[in-house]
Copies of this chain bind each other. A is one copy, B any other.
Amino acid sequence: MKGFRPQKIAIVGAGAIGAYYGCLLARVGHEVHFLLRGDFDVVSREGFHVRTRETQFHLHPVHAHADVDDIGFCDLVIIAIKTSNNAALAQLLPPLEAPGHTIFLTLQNGMGNVETLARLFPPGQIVAGLCFTCINRTAPGVIENYHAGRIQFADATGGPARAHTHAVAEMFAAAGVASKAVDSLERALWLKLCWNVPFNGLAIAGGGITTDRILASPPLRDLARALMHEVQEAAAAHGVEIPANHVAAQFSLTEGMGAYKPSSLIDFVSGRPVEISAIWGEPLRRGQAKGVDMGRLACLHSLLRHMVTSR
């Protein structure tokens, strides 16, 4: 698949992440089909308005679809629905596959997504993209990106990135996204969770607060660090060494983010599903499966489950 150049791309789940990257790819000339639900009417009529710190553009007309069967086979399918709705993928994805050919790229949060895809398609057709960015859908068809961010791409097979993964990374790079193919999905996932587990979680459990307030609260700051150490221990039990300076770096990184609202907090306060399993449940399960107790994560996970169901 060297030189893989998709002719036709589907975006399954055109929320903030899916719509944003789909628009960037369409802007540089790819044929991008968006599967939409609530925003279908607005986007069909008015297209997407994308705003970043540097620029803004209007994508119009848009290949908007309310039904996956209207899209047909694609070369690349980008999955960006909430992980809490992953059960729907068994219905949504098969109509898009040219067997043995289509690449499925999950841009979703947390752990367990490639496993969900691998129950439907061969691992060699699956790529994971870990997004380090902050993108919001501020109104139907309106997408705002507050900092450029980057994506790490990894093979779902767990091994070093192969040609098609490099090709996907190059395609995103050509669309203006800071992109990198990395050699261990497992390592990339644990490293990313070092941030998401404490900061997404404490933003909700701390009472609906931005990351600057987590850092400013001595007990929450200590708890964030202790949660990272639990993630680090669980990763180590899975053969992934997270260096001590990675933990320290998360704090200086977060200092620079100001009054940042993690996506899970935005989901929580908007009454949308929160990705409990992908961000907290699955790393907890994987740590405990190796005998790592992860008591703080267990406590946080239980409180979040309760808070989400009792909203």
Mark A residues whose CB is within 8 Å of B: 205-207, 209, 213, 217-220, 222-223, 226-227, 230, 293-303, 305-307, 309-310
Contacts and interface: CB of A to CB of B under 8 A. Distances in A.
Contact of A207 (B206, B301, B310): B310
Given A219-B302, A302-B222, A207 B295 contact: no
19 contacts: A205-B205, A205-B303, A207-B310, A213-B310, A217-B306, A217-B310, A218-B305, A219-B305, A220-B302, A220-B306, A222-B302, A223-B303, A226-B298, A226-B299, A295-B295, A295-B298, A296-B299, A299-B300, A303-B303
Contact of A294 (B218, B294, B295): B295
A115 to B, nearest CB: 23
Contacts of A223: 298-299, 302-303
A206 B293 contact: no
Task: Say how many copies of this protein the assembly contains.
Answer: 2
Nearest to A209: B310
A140 to B, nearest CB: 31
A242 B120 CA distance: 49
Contact of A295 (B209, B213, B299, B303): B299
Nearest to A294: B295
Given A213-B310, A217-B306, A296-B299, 4 more contacts: A223-B298, A295-B296, A295-B297, A296-B298
A299 B302 CA distance: 11
Contacts of A299: 223, 226-227, 295-296, 299-300
A245 B293 CA distance: 23
Nearest to A301: B219
Contacts of A222: 302
Contacts of A307: 206-207
Closest 10 CB pairs of A and B: A295-B295, A299-B299, A223-B302, A219-B305, A219-B302, A296-B299, A295-B296, A219-B306, A217-B306, A220-B306
B300 A206 contact: no
Nearest to A226: B298
Contacts of A305: 218-219
A306 B206 contact: yes
Contacts of A294: 295
Contacts of A309: 217, 219
Nearest to A300: B299
A94 B17 CA distance: 66
Contacts of A205: 205, 303
A205 B302 CA distance: 11
A277 to B, nearest CB: 12
Nearest to A227: B299
Contacts of A310: 206-207, 209, 213, 217
